[in-house]
Structure 1
Amino acid sequence: MNLHYDEATERFRIELREWLEGNLPDEQERLAEPTQSSADLPDWARQWQRRLFDAGWLVPGWPPELGGKNATPIQQLVYFEEMARLPLMRSYNVQGLTIIAPAIHDFGNDQQRKSYVLPTLRAEISWCLGMSEPGAGSDLAGLSTRAELDDDHFIVNGQKVWTSGAEHSDFCFCFVRTDPEAPKHKGISVLIIDMKTPGIDVRPMPELTNKDRADFSEVFFDDVEVPAENLVGELNHGWAITTGSLAHERGMLWTTQVSELENRIEAFRQLGERQDEHGRRLAEDSVFRDELASLYLDAQALKFMGYRGFAKISHGQASPEHSLLKLFGSELTQRLTLMAMEHEGASALDIGMDPYSVGRYSRHSFTMQYFYSFAGTIAGGTSEIQRNIIAQRVLGLPRG
């Protein structure tokens, strides 16, 4: 496997770096109006996303008319490596940009693409993802929210939970059961639901770490009328969306988080410069050095696994690496942040920066990142689910 980028890819990297250096939002502007959730878009965040879109740097793998540059998979990898070094995210409605817009692009009709894809990319509308339910978390196929077709509209009843950004979202990309008699994977459909529709009750779930912040919400649907034209893809074939665009984007997200993990490891390394009451640096401790080396080597293994997955994708091959990346990456993040807290001692009680803030990888944010690391081992399929997938689809082991 060739681990060196070719000349064209390096030119792509240089072009991106030069553009970013001249176009990043002003830091004072970002600090003056912080983001509050994954769907909360202050003016500077909307302007930043539009600036990326207009320059073709928002979704580089897409065609220019959709905010991209027709970038190759390897160029996209370089793009995410560079973006991870920034003090802010490319979009603060991550689900809308990385999951929902691609799904509508791949499975929606022409009118849906026109109505929702470009406005999402331009940060004109924001989204939440209606997947998890009280009785259907990792087992999405067990969902029970019903949608019954009545002439030209669906009637939706049920509940979603752990819905990120629901309080601030314009629309919900909602998975519903449209045929309760069919096998559980075959009776699911996807609806685009306007969050202002009568009958929707959003109940924010305040966080223990910040009572004024509630990124997650419960969402209740009580006889909510949804136009039949808002059905994405075919009726009762919504499961194809989870195994199509969503699965690909999930793998893409975890691959690119390797660069963010490297940022955290660098912040961990900087902990080594701290001195104890005797003036001895933490980096002189052999235990600390061993932990740092272990984290670095594991991150490199994760990176090369991601490279292998991208190489397969670039040659049109299926890649099972996304489950390995999610499992290994989420658990490595949890191990790293726990180690950092242990070395910080009492100072770790200062939870520091919000994960959406410009300083989210400073050493003062390890405690907050540790709290959030548990979401990484649960959301999108728990570690136990990932191990089952790896055993069956990668290793070829039998069920049971």
Structure 2
Amino acid sequence: MRLTFDPEVEEFRAEFAAFLAEHAPEEAEAAERPRSSSHIPEWARRWQRLMFDEGWLLPGNPPEFGGRDATLLQQYVHLEEMAARKMYHSFNPQGLGIIAASLLSFGTEEQKRRWVVPILRAEITASLGMSEPGAGSDLASLRTRAVLEGDHFTVNGQKVWTSGAHDADVLLTFVRTDPDAPKHKGISVLLIPTDTPGLTRRPFGSIAGRDDLDFNEVFFEDVRVPKENLVGGLNDGWRVANGSLGHERNMLWLHFATRLEEQVRDFRPATELDRDWYATLVMDAQALRLMGSAALARAARGEQDVAALSVLKLFGSEAAQKAAERTLEAQGAEGLYPTPTGPYAHLNLDVFITGWFERYARSFGGTIAGGTSEIQRTVIAERVLGLPRG
């Protein structure tokens, strides 16, 4: 394997690095922090807008959607440069990485104009309404109901774990539109503005503390949604869901690889036990980087390998969780104090993390978001090992 890139890819990297060096906001400018994953401070809105206008927000997109038609390898080095600086595209990650991407894949031209461009330009923010009290990982069990009545849908039901919903302008919401169809086939997707009468959002705390208000319960009571806000076809929501989750996990392994490599650089083993674990950490980081690079090379050749993404997501999320746990143990009481921030911390998406305990607590989200570890094991069992469905 040759872990290098062609000259044109490196030229692309150098151009982006020069843009960051010239335009990245200074720490003093970026003093205001976001309240949630759907709240973007004004300075960050300006920064995201500049990235969009210059084609650096999502370079794989066409220019009218904040990109420059970059190749897959160019997109990868773009992410590498961001990760090396602990920088992220947006403080509304699900808006960019899931919702706008899903609308580009499944939305109408009018929906792209009305919703995608404002989301990408940080003029509005978006949250994802999938999980329900009785339908977490099993989306097909959702019960939030939408009834088509002439020119609108009437929605009733509840969502939960809806990150950033209390600060979002719109929810991409999965609803049941045909209760008599098989559970995978009766689902549709609606764009629901959060100021619609009958929609109530209630934020609640997490394991990181009661003041960590990102999760929400969302209640729908006779919420009227225009028919033109249907994304994809009626009862075609399962296809949209698969596309949405695919956008979320596409290069998720790079996030976990970067996390592991940070700990390789920062952790200093003091005992024999620490050294043994440190060797495991180094091997995990190297293995994830190599497996991810192989998957990237296959994707660049146009080969589809869904199972490889499941292997990477499972291995990466669980290795990062184990690494955070062992680091917290090794640090003892010191692990409860803030970690070093670094020169780009003001642009870091992990704005609420103030110590190794919180990093460990939040690592559980990595084994859930983008498909739980249990789901990934099922995919691997069926598609890699060839085991029968059980």
Q: TM-score, normalised by structure 1?
A: 0.91
- What residue is the counterpart of 2:377 in the other structure? 387
The equivalences for 1:238-387 within 5 A come to: 238-267=237-266, 269=267, 272=268, 283-320=269-306, 321-350=308-337, 365-387=355-377
Native 8 Å contact 2:95 2:126 kept in 1: yes
Does the 8 Å CA contact 1:180/1:187 hold for their aligned counterparts? Answer: yes
Cα separation, 1, equivalents of 2:281 and 2:51: 33
More off after superposition, 362-371 vs 100-109:
362-371
The 1:116/1:136 distance shift into structure 2, 3 A limit, reads same
Q: Output the CA distance in 1 between the equivalents of 2:326 and 2:178.
A: 48
Distance (Å, rounded) in 2 between the aligned partners of 1:375 and 1:345 = 23
Q: 1:192 to 1:307 in 2, by over 3 A?
A: same
Deviation of the 1:250 alpha carbon? 1.7
Q: What residue number does 2:162 align with?
A: 163
Distance, in Å, in 2 between the alignment partners of 1:115 and 1:124 is 11
Which of residues 359, 377, 399 in structure 1 aligns to 2:389? 399
Contact 1:103 1:246 survives alignment (8 Å): no
Tell me the distance in 2 between the aligned counterparts of 1:345 and 1:260: 20
Instruction: Calculate percent identity across the aligned residue pairs.
Output: 51
Q: CA offset at residue 17 of structure 1?
A: 1.1
1:43 is matched by which residue type in structure 2? E
- CA distance in 2: counterparts of 1:211 and 1:357, whole angstroms: 23
1:362 deviation in Å? 12
Please give the secondary structure, in 1, of the residue aligned with 2:250.
helix
Matches within 5 A, 1:89-104: 89-104=88-103
Determine the C-alpha separation between the residues in 2 that align with 1:362 and 1:34.
Answer: 9
CA distance in 2 between counterparts of 1:178 and 1:81 reads: 41
Residues 120 and 353 of structure 1: CA distance in aligned 2, closer, same or farther (over 3 Å): farther
Q: 1:361 & 1:232 partners in 2: Cα distance? A: 32
SS in 1 for 2:389: coil
Task: Find the aligned partners of 2:340 and 2:178 in 1 and give their Cα distance.
Answer: 45
Amino acid at match of 1:333: A
Give the structure 2 partner of residue 275 of structure 1: none
Letter paired with 1:64: P
Matched residue count: 385
2:18 alignment counterpart: 18
Aligned to 2:214: 215
Q: Secondary structure at the match of 1:378?
A: coil
In the aligned structure 2, how far is the partner of 1:291 from the partner of 1:336?
A: 9
SS in 1 for 2:221: strand
User: Aligned-pair distance for 1:398?
Assistant: 0.9
For structure 2, list consecutive stretches of 5 or more residues without a partner in the other structure: none
Which residue number corresponds to residue 138 of structure 1? 137
Q: Which amino acid aligns with 2:387?
A: L
Query: Structure 1 stretch 333-342 or stretch 314-323: which is displaced more?
Result: 314-323
Structure 1, 389-398 or 363-372: larger mean CA deviation: 363-372
- Matched residue SS, 2:324: helix
Deviation at 1:38, TM superposition (A): 0.4
One-letter identity of the residue aligned with 1:294:
T
Q: Which position in structure 2 is the counterpart of 1:5?
A: 5
**Deviation, structure 1 residue 255:** 3.6
Query: How far apart are the structure 2 equivalents of 1:205 and 1:373?
Result: 19
* Offset of residue 105 of structure 1: 0.8
CA contact (8 A) 1:77 1:256 kept: no
| Contact 1:163-1:217 within 8 A present in 2 as well | yes
CA RMSD of aligned residues (A): 2.1
**SS of the residue 1:27 aligns to:** coil
Asked if 2 retains the 8 angstrom alpha-carbon contact of 1:164 and 1:215, the reply is yes
Distance 1:259 1:346, change over 3 A: closer
SS in 2 for 1:133: coil
The DSSP-based 3-state class of the residue aligned with 1:338 is: helix
Q: Specify the SS of the correspondent of 2:190.
A: strand
CA distance in 2, matches of 1:44, 1:151: 43
Amino acid at match of 1:122: R
> Match of 2:27?
27
Structure 1 contact 258–299 (Cα < 8 Å) conserved: yes
Kindly indicate whether the alpha-carbon contact (under 8 Å) linking 2:260 and 2:281 is maintained by their aligned counterparts in 1.
no
The alpha carbon displacement at 1:248 in A equals 3.8
Aligned with 1:185: secondary structure?
coil
Q: Assess, with a 3 A threshold, how the Cα gap between structure 1 residues 79 and 137 changes in structure 2: closer, same or farther.
A: same
What SS class does the counterpart of residue 29 from structure 1 fall into?
Answer: coil
Identify the residue that residue 85 of structure 1 maps to in structure 2.
Answer: 84
| Structure 1 unaligned residues grouped into runs of 5+ | 273-282
Amino acid aligned to 2:311: L
Q: Decide which moves more: 212-221 or 240-249.
A: 240-249
